[in-house]
A = this chain, B = another copy of it.
Amino acid sequence: MNAPAAPDAATRLPLSEAPIPDEVFQNMRRANLARWPTGAEVDIDAAVERHKALPRHKQLAWVMREADRQRRCLTQPRGGCGTFNMHRDLMVTLDREGLADVVPTTTDSYTRNEQWQLAQHGIEESEKAGRSLLNGYPMVNYGVAKASQLVDAIDKPAIMLTGTAMPMLTGEIGYAGGYSGYLGSGIAYTTSYIKELTIEEGIRNYQYLDRLAALYQARGVELHRRQPGFLTGTNVPPSIAIVTCVLDCLLAAAQGVRNYGLEMGETLHLIQDAAAVAACRELCQDYLAKKGHRDVFTPVTLLHWMGAWPHDDAQSAAMIAYGGTLAAIAGANSVTTKSTHEAYGIPTPQANAEGLRMTRTAIYLARNIRLDGLPEYEREKALIGREVRPIVDKVLEMGDGDVAVGTVRAFEAGVLDVPWSPNRGVASRVLPARDADGYLRIVDPGRMPFPGDVMAVHEERLRKRAERENIPYGPDLAVSSVYEMSEPIAKLMSDRWAV
């Protein structure tokens, strides 16, 4: 792995949520951009001009606000290829054939881990093989000019999807090239995408990126930042997602970010997802207000099922469509899509575009439906609040009011936790499972301080399921829930009658 940016005094202050001072930030940028040759291509003045010259329908911040104003639910796929040409073709296909409202660039996993030498090797092998051997686009290796060509090839806003705890160079290059959105955050990605990096380093890395967005903001360019609250994508209950949304959002706002999207993986339970979207929006705004941030726009995005998918295109198609239905009814501002290839491998551009059109159709069909006033929905929404507030309040208390410090301490104490995390700094003792009515609940809270009455609700419903399916109450329930959605439908809903 490449060395992290040099940790000397000029570039490293004690951890806090406070905005990085101008001068320190300039030093940090200089060091950062020097880490790979393409870093030198970043010129903030040129970048600002570039963004100002983009039509507003290619600026994600404007597009998200407009979607919110018009109550539209936008679609956005993922996708990245290992060579420039393949990747440009993919972006064009997603734009034209998929009607994607937001066009992505997923980076490859070497880039995510700042292994740019390996990425270079991957590019060469991909060219040789005539197919992509990388699982995404090596943004850093190709640099600013190429990024700019990609943005020019489409007629939509472009977003970087980089699933990394180390976003500093990728973010600089993409933003400079005219990408107007970046998905990633210090808490979410550090807990879910890396093994050895500490939460503190992850937070610091994203403070840099958020500070960069604020720099553009100060120069009159509104960029979109976004938080991946889907975390490990594996049965993450809304409350745990939202806790990280709130905390990452407060960290970003402290650096000066004004457009901050919040993402959550779908639970695939209509009522729980609708409640989660409403609760997420309210809770984030609530805590922002408490911390004195009154002008942060926080649209909410749902993601198609993030856990394991079935090996049947027909089953997958139904999950894709339902993913659109859920997002529309939940009133999400956008939905991030998958394809019928999900269980197998990275989809072809065509399969990816089909997933987009399925989703778009599903949104159209359900665009007028809302659940406000449905008793079960109102109950669930209140429940989520009762789960989130005690955790967030505890974190703030542990940090003596500082979100960054509180977060680091809370992870150490297990007060903050993420299920199925690969990170050594995360307890990953909390275990979720699906209950008898299809809601995601918590079977073991680990050391997360959920109130007793809340945990009693979870346990009661999960015990019902355990009993019905004859699974011992405990981790087995969590494991069977990991598999559930990937099981053949014949097993999930038999066409036979018990005799």
Contact = CB atoms under 8 A, between A and B. Distances in A.
Given A99-B495, A495-B156, A365 B313 contact: no
A360 B364 CA distance: 21
Interface residues of A, number: 56
A357 B489 contact: yes
A437 B357 contact: no
A75 B495 CA distance: 9
Copies in the complex: 2
Contacts of A358: 314-315, 317-318, 321
Interface string A469-497: 00000000000000000000110110111
Interface stretch (A250-258, A283-291, A371-379, A419-427): A371-379
Interface in A127-159: 156
A460 B357 CA distance: 32
Given A322-B365, A373-B375, A357 B497 contact: no
Contact of A269 (B325, B361, B368): B368
A358 B369 CA distance: 22
A322 B319 contact: no
Contacts of A367: 438, 493
Given A315-B361, A489-B357, A489-B361, A271 B369 contact: yes
Interface string A362-396: 11111111010111100000000000000000000
A218 interface: no
A163 B339 CA distance: 37
A360 to B, nearest CB: 5
A100 interface: yes
Interface centre among A99, A437, A499 (most CB of B within 10 A): A99
Contacts of A438: 365, 367-368
Contact of A315 (B315, B355, B357, B496): B357
A128 to B, nearest CB: 33
Given A66-B497, A371-B374, A312 B364 contact: no
A101 interface: yes
Contact of A493 (B66, B310, B319, B360): B360
